[in-house]
Amino acid sequence: MKNILTLLIIMTATITQAQLTPVPYTDASQKLEGFLATPKKVNTQKAGVLLLPAWMGIDNNAKENATELAKLGYITFVADIYGIDKRPTNPKEAGQIASYFKTNYSEYQKRIQLALEQLVKGGANPDKIVVIGYCFGGTGAIEAARANFKVQGIVSFHGGLGRDASRIIESINPKVLVLHGADDFFIPEAEIKAFQDEMKTAKADWQMVYYSNAVHAFTHKDAGNDNSKGTAYNEKAAKRAWLLMLAFFKEIL
């Protein structure tokens, strides 16, 4: 508890203003537009965070979190995975397009890599980068680890952990932190067990933390508060997960 209080004091003392700017880029002919959150006062190491949004694409949750990270001195880029003209307008469309990228994971990894390049162009130190993601974006963060992108760490918030059993397991270099709702019934126990076995086989430096009374999307304020629906906001779990992520940043960066 003393360490957490110390971290909070440091955070409060270093909070500064931040600016969120749209950034156009492309994947071949596909037009993309992410958002760069730039601190008014960048941390001395110019550490950067790549933020992968949930299945609806770039939403208020992603923008708010990017801004908060920038206020703490982290140069942060919110990735556009889908494309300007491919953004879903409802959950059904989101499920379809997210499923496409989960199945065609190499394309997902490519879009993540392109976003990483934009983060570096935005001023981030390429040797001091962490990838974080929420829900579908959490799945992407795990894919960044599997691709062994040149990043220091990976943080997945209530993300999917599945992997086609035919895929070869290779060594994973980035450190991995998975923040998971203990009551998340969208992620089967078999998928969790397979993921943990994968991490062990890959000789990864990994952690998986469970939050009680939390289900899928527990960090999303617009997810409601009915756990029986499978998605719900849990303020306590969200705050604890955020603090643990920041402690993880300080350890690896």
For domain 18-252, the CATH architecture is 3-Layer(aba) Sandwich (3.40)
pLDDT of residue 43: 74
- pTM of the full structure: 0.92
Mean pLDDT value of segment 122-130: 97
Domain locations in the chain?
18-252
Mean pLDDT value of segment 123-135: 98
Instruction: Work out the pLDDT band at 42, boundaries 50, 70, 90.
Output: confident
**Tokens 């086989």 correspond to what residue?**
201
Alpha carbon dihedral 203, 189, 98, 27, in 10-degree steps, equals 0
Does the pLDDT at position 10 exceed 50? no
pLDDT of residue 16: 52
Measured distance CA(33)–CA(46) in Å, rounded: 23
3-state secondary structure of 38: strand
Q: What are 199-214's pLDDT values in tens digits?
A: 999 999 999 999 999 9
Instruction: Work out the pLDDT band at 51, boundaries 50, 70, 90.
Output: very high
Say if residues 202 and 188 touch (Cβ distance below 8 Å): no
Measured distance CA(238)–CA(196) in Å, rounded: 23
Mean pLDDT of the chain: 93
Does the pLDDT at position 231 exceed 90? yes
Which residues 6+ apart lie within 8 Å of 167 measured at CB?
146
Measured distance CA(196)–CA(48) in Å, rounded: 27
Phi-psi region of 97 (alpha: psi -120 to 50; beta: other; left: phi over 0): alpha
Instruction: Work out the pLDDT band at 218, boundaries 50, 70, 90.
Output: very high
Mean pLDDT value of segment 128-149: 98
